[in-house]
Amino acid sequence: MSTTQPPGGGWPGGDRSDDQAGWALPTPPQAPVVPPRPRRRPWAWILGAMVAATLVLGISGGIVFAQNALPILRAANDYSDAIDNGHFAAAYAQSCRSIHDASAFAEFRDDLKTRLGYDQYRLNHAFVNFFDLDHNGHRATITIRATYDRRGDRDFTLRLVEEDGDWRPCGLS
């Protein structure tokens, strides 16, 4: 049995008869099968983010330290070095206004020598303990450790004030 084409048109693609009943549209060519990419592990991104955050915090901390603590430590170190070398005039010159207003150089020198026990014991070294810095606005305190020949170590507290943008020692107790 065959079917004939209807008048005024026909089957798409031409005549269709019963013997072509299994006819179908051709299938498109298949793309080659690519295995799926292995899934990236998030730990690499997390580790990278943690390293980046650590670097940013470290650099920020270094900048804050350099801006806030370093000038205080330098002033305390310079003062300590002057005392250590017996340069009391340099220590007096570095001191704050209130020290200059309260005493002349000779009084300052004698008071400092007495306080440190300079005449009784030989001072080996005076150094700043930068871990013991207490900074509060325009005032700071820091510990200076003096080492002596026969006396051992003794800690002193150095007070510093900020005057005209510079940190100046303002008393040793």
DSSP states of 88-138: HHHHHHHS-HHHHHH--HHHHHHHHHHHHTTTTS-EEEEEEEEEEEEEETT
Topology adopted by domain 45-172: Nuclear Transport Factor 2; Chain: A, (3.10.450)
Residues of the chain whose pLDDT is less than 50? 8
Q: Specify the pLDDT at position 92.
A: 92
The model's pLDDT over 149-172, given as tens digits with 9 standing for 90+, comes to 777 788 888 888 889 888 899 888
pTM for this prediction: 0.62
Q: Specify the pLDDT at position 10.
A: 53
The model's pLDDT over 32-42, given as tens digits with 9 standing for 90+, comes to 777 887 777 78
Q: Where are the domains of the chain?
A: 45-172
- Residue 2 is given by DSSP the state -
Tell me the Ramachandran region of residue 86: left when phi exceeds 0, alpha when psi lies from -120 to 50, beta otherwise: left
Residue 33: partners with Cβ closer than 8 Å, 6 or more residues away: none
